[in-house]
Structure 1
Amino acid sequence: MLTAALTVALDNIQAVIIDLDGTMLDTAPDFLVAVNRMRDEFTLAAIDIATIKRFVGKGSENLIERVLALDFSAEQIAQHFDAAMESYQRHYLCINGDFSMLYPDVVEGLQAMQAQGLRMACVTNKPLAFALPLMEKKGLAGFFEVVYGGDSFSRKKPDPIALLQVCADFDLAPAKVLALGDSSNDAQAARAANCPVLLVPYGYNHGEAIQNVESDGIVASLLEAATLIRRGNIQ
């Protein structure tokens, strides 16, 4: 059963750009373990999963700044940031993917897109050193021709630079490249790149309701998105 009410016609879509954290994978449990191990090194109390979910989505630097801001002043954050980042990255690399889980119908959705001949790229704000091994571990890497991380360019989403690069890589007009994500970062990047964008409701979105984010529709899963693309392309 389809749940999306689209604001645009999805016709002649030839490629998709898909976010990682909160869209394909629930990685918040990984973040929680790594952050709390870092906090333990600073003799700080552990934080909960709800707090982590509000903080993820804008890159590792923003995550660590917000985590430190729970206990430190701006001056103290600047003083401790480098050590905290080193600790977090060290712990994250050790457990990357161990506690994260695929969302329902992700693999089925990717398979359906692949069967349609759609070209696929993953654009995430996660650093490539984390994203690539995680995608391999979870069986996602083989679906994607292109993967760009938060350190692939000088600016992260919501800047459109990575999405525009994918369009150039595929030699496709942005109108033919659908973006799929879970947050305002994804929607704003797609709007700026002139790509249509669908959002899933189960991700993070910085603790805000996804229904309040301007997009071309909300889909229950990647499989539903694949179905909508197929229907639009055969009309």
Structure 2
Amino acid sequence: MSLAGLFNARWPGVALFDLDGTLVDSAPDLAAAVDRTLEQLGRKPAGLEQVRQWVGHGSPVLMRRALAGKADWEPASAADDALFNDALALFFNNYRQLNGKHAVVYPGVKACLEALSKRSCSMAVVTNKPEQFVGPLLKQLGLERHFKLVIGGDTLDTKKPDPAPLLHAMNALHGSLGTTVMVGDSAADVSAAQAAGIPCVAVTYGYNFGQPVHALGADAVVDSLSELL
């Protein structure tokens, strides 16, 4: 389906994109940083496939899961709590060095962004990744020029699935509920869009903790962003 189909045959004036799992497969970088951190703490590495199941709720939750060795990290052990701040600091340092080294842009993303740019659509990245890592990753992968705004997980006081980051980005880009779309890969993206009152497209290839994307309630589900054209 075309994105125009969500707006009565009009293309959106504003498009908000999640980053990890939607535009970019960043799990290889994140896994490398997590594993280096765990090894520095004297623990066994988690591995890429495990880390893929933990990505999506921001770096603090990712490291909580890594320390616990599972997605359901609550209640954390006393030992994990004592390590958490040091582990997160180590992770940030490691990820700063590895950000963009192994990440790749998903097929169909560049074609979609080019098409929206040609239609004068204003675009923003709205992610739960800390803001300091977003710009360098977009630049490294050649995507930076498409986006007028970046909202990271620590840009505001709240992050997805709270709708506030989406509404903030929409307003900053002079969009409206009738002209804005959210594109993401997880329950956090769909829930945030629904709470904000804007349509949402979900991709099937991202990070949704092994849960079926079609069950999230998105307005459309696609296997590639090129399908939106």
TM-score (norm 1): 0.90
**One-letter identity of the residue aligned with 1:185:** A
Structure number with the higher helix fraction is 1
Report deviation, 1:126.
Answer: 0.5
Report deviation, 1:172.
Answer: 2.1
Query: CA separation in 2, counterparts of 1:60 and 1:80?
Result: 15
Report deviation, 1:47.
Answer: 1.2
Query: CA separation in 2, counterparts of 1:67 and 1:220?
Result: 29
Report deviation, 1:15.
Answer: 1.1
Listed as ranges, the gaps of 5+ residues in structure 2 are none
Query: CA separation in 2, counterparts of 1:52 and 1:10?
Result: 36
Residue from 165, 187, 199 that aligns with 2:168: 165
Match of 2:23 in 1: 24
Query: CA separation in 2, counterparts of 1:57 and 1:28?
Result: 10
Match of 1:108 in 2: 111
**One-letter identity of the residue aligned with 2:21:** G
**One-letter identity of the residue aligned with 2:127:** T
Query: CA separation in 1, counterparts of 2:226 and 2:44?
Result: 40
> Against the structure 1 CA distance between its residues 9 and 106, is the aligned structure 2 distance closer, same or farther, given a 3 Å change threshold?
closer
Query: Are the equivalent residues in 2 in contact too, given 1:53–1:207 (CA < 8 A)?
Result: no
Residue 187 of structure 2 is aligned to residue 184 of structure 1: yes
**One-letter identity of the residue aligned with 2:63:** I
Query: CA separation in 2, counterparts of 1:147 and 1:223?
Result: 22
Partner-residue secondary structure (3-state), 2:7: coil
Residue from 204, 207, 219 that aligns with 2:207: 204
Match of 2:7 in 1: 10
After the TM superposition, which residues 6-155 of structure 1 pair with which residues of structure 2 at under 5 Å, given as runs?
A: 9-11=6-8, 12=10, 13-70=12-69, 73-155=76-158
Query: Are the equivalent residues in 2 in contact too, given 1:22–1:202 (CA < 8 A)?
Result: yes
Query: CA separation in 1, counterparts of 2:157 and 2:86?
Result: 23
Partner-residue secondary structure (3-state), 1:17: strand
Query: Are the equivalent residues in 1 in contact too, given 2:6–2:199 (CA < 8 A)?
Result: no
Match of 1:232 in 2: none
Query: Are the equivalent residues in 2 in contact too, given 1:20–1:123 (CA < 8 A)?
Result: yes
Query: CA separation in 2, counterparts of 1:118 and 1:9?
Result: 14
Deviations 1:111-144 (A, max 9, x none): 0111111111110100111111111111111100
Report deviation, 1:9.
Answer: 3.5
Listed as ranges, the gaps of 5+ residues in structure 1 are 228-235
Query: Are the equivalent residues in 2 in contact too, given 1:19–1:180 (CA < 8 A)?
Result: yes
Query: CA separation in 1, counterparts of 2:113 and 2:227?
Result: 11
**One-letter identity of the residue aligned with 1:214:** G
Query: Are the equivalent residues in 2 in contact too, given 1:29–1:100 (CA < 8 A)?
Result: yes
- Give the count of matched residue pairs: 222
Residue from 186, 192, 196 that aligns with 1:193: 196
* Identical-residue share of aligned pairs (%): 34
